[in-house]
Structure 1
Amino acid sequence: MNKIYNPNNKDWKTILMRPTQTVADIEGTVNSIFGEVQKGGDAILAKYTQKFDGVDLNSNIVSQEEISSAIASIPEDLKKAIQLAKTNIEVFHAAQKTSRVEVETTNGVQCWQEKRPIQKVGLYIPGGTAPLFSTILMLAIPANIAGCEEVILCTPPDKEGKVNPAILYTANLCGVTKVFKVGGIQAIAGMTFGTETIPQVYKIFGPGNQYVTVAKQIATKHGVAIDMPAGPSELLVMADDSANAAFVASDLLSQAEHGVDSQVILVSTSKEFILKVESEITKQIKNLPRRDIAEKAIANSKLIFVEENQTAIDLINEYGPEHYILCVSNEDIFLNQIKNAGSVFIGNYTPESAGDYASGTNHTLPTNGYAKQYSGVNLDSFMKSMTFQKISSNGIKEIGKAIELMAEAEGLQAHKNAVTLRLKSLE
């Protein structure tokens, strides 16, 4: 890993740069595939499934027989683990429900806000080097709690045209409406425009590689909302000598094994601790099945020493990590000043992987610095806030004159007339 000592804040932007391509590098490819799918539908999906996934499919729809077979193949202990995670995620997201907000702003003017579910949502689940069935829990559970009517899922097939059994088991457990064997840019395009088999959705959720991330951003140009730009995974750990170096190394490696374009960063006020973590990483990485991936990600990662806590806080807020682990003796100083992070994990016994799977919080989070302006997925991600108002005759008398004056000042006579007619009818 790259060790950096006391970096000057003018260099922070360069030091903290993510190892990802820009939208401009990928946009041409995405637009081309989007255009083809919009015109050609399922035939184009099949073309790109063959090209990128290496398989010809008779149908891109997962059958009930495939789902039943997948359910039967999952070991009971894994089923129980998934069900435990499901329970915790349901508890946390159900607690996010809010009641109707109602207020009389002026005598006779009643205003209220209610939340209604988004009717049709599409979930994208990566299935390449790691079949992320846990992401289905994070997306389908709040979708169902919210009351979404249609919840479809797209995930790439393997070379045999199959979907990982754990993905199918979890999708069935969490009430996914239909599962489609489509991945990558073409899956996002299919959900954006709709095809002969895939329904068009109103909002797309889920992580993916850089191509999927850009495809989701392009989808917004075609009238489809997205959860956030959620690209390659990233983790920043802030730790001092009170932390356990082996634990910190394991956390850094847990994110590094996601993909070669993942990034992990350790910030510390102790040079000695940094060296301990570096030694632990060297020791632990040798035994990882995904060692090759982790090593490439580690090459893009940083060990940063700073002398002062405030400098560390400012640097962390500048980075805006997707995942932020905090293991320091005086955690309140950091917690009170964190402004930009997707999800925060506090203390030696709170690994980031707990949030990935079973603690209850959502692991679909903003990456690439988007934590500065985006929230992670939550129950409200699947809802729309709608406002209502009802004005009585007394109410229109109370605010009518103000409306007339304001409309006239803006030169909108019809707006004024809509009030004037009502006021005259009450004379």
Structure 2
Amino acid sequence: MPVVHKITEMNWAGNYHYRAGVVHHPSSEDELRALVAASGAVRALGSRHSFNAVADSEVLVSLDRLATKTIIDSAAMTATVSGGTPYGVLAQNLARHGFALHNLASLPHITVAGAIATATHGSGDGNKNLASAVVGLRFIDAQGNTRTVNRAHTADFAGYVVGLGALGIVTEVTLAIEPAFKVAQHVYRGVPWEQVLADYDAVTGRAYSVSLFTDWRGDAVGQVWFKQRLGDGRTTDFPAQLLGGSAALVNIHPVPGVLAVNCTEQLGTPGPWEDRLAHFRRDYLPSSGAEIQSEWFVGREHAVAAINALRARSAEISSVLQVSEIRSVAADDLWLSPSYGRDSVAFHFTWFRDQRAVDAAVGVVEEILAPFTARPHWGKAFNAGAPELAPLYPRFADFLVLAARVDPSGKFRNQFLDRTVFAR
């Protein structure tokens, strides 16, 4: 029988309490299949790192007791893992055998199935989100049947990957992998906005992955993180002074005043990809969770205009803001991905955990970015509903058709999806 745990915690941030009274922890796929078949409404719960109700349901299931071994196919250059596997665990397993993923998100603690379902991403002008590496899925459908889809043979595969949990419970994910590589992380402080905006593409193209951290106030970016992939042909020149900023002399945290003990190694020291691509170390929690996060994606061609628009109204959001991060995400073909069909710039906001103030600030940011057809991150705080979101995604209607075919009874829907996807 599956283990059942009472829910005694909210989500990771503490800003949302799940409606279900218990979480089921099946130890086999057969147990999971039986549970799904017998449930009226059910969803999977991963690392609880969503900042809204996307993961909630009457019945919640955790995949943490299913096998987490990594099956590597070196001929096909793929790896297959349980959907409940944290990315940090997957990265370690791949690295032991000399392989890598193309990128990691800021946190290595998030689960594979949860991250891909919401199009979670890292950074880099040429780097697509984490879900773009998916070449196959195994999931339990509403009848409790096991189903598989893959990029090679499933015509509408691009609709399944960023599925928001609306199509079933993903038990296994097969991902494209590549040979392992090394990364050196360089951090600069106090880079003038004038230098960044004079040639934005040159700044973000300087390294494999680039992040800009700001509070939107003043004339300078607080920090610029360059993750240099060794041997990729990009510049190796990271001097003491760059773009008017100064190289950090000690490891620093993205949030000013917070100790960097949980951050990955900086100072230009080369190291394995799994210890540099994420901002935070897999053996430390990134923070206490006392925050709420939001993020919006705009087409790359609007990067400078969107930055200037946010800076112009910084007074309306900065008092609620811990830090904001700007990253690049390459275009993909996944129907509900915020980077579907367009190279994007992602504007991330880490707010203080004050729900009322955050709701107001989110409204301001949505207003600022609306002219740039901004798409929100599905797992973070935003106000838009289906009427506003549907026109932003060319394949939105196709996803509705797919969901109606795969889950006609709506077993995997919830209040969040009814508001943001299925509302008529």
Q: TM-score over 0.5 for the alignment?
A: no
Length-normalised TM-score, structure 1: 0.26
Q: Structure 1 or 2: larger helix share?
A: 1
Structure number with the bigger relative contact order (C-alpha 8 A, sep ≥ 6) is 1
Question: Which protein has the larger Cα radius of gyration, Structure 1 or Structure 2?
Answer: 1
TM-score w.r.t. the length of structure 2 is: 0.27
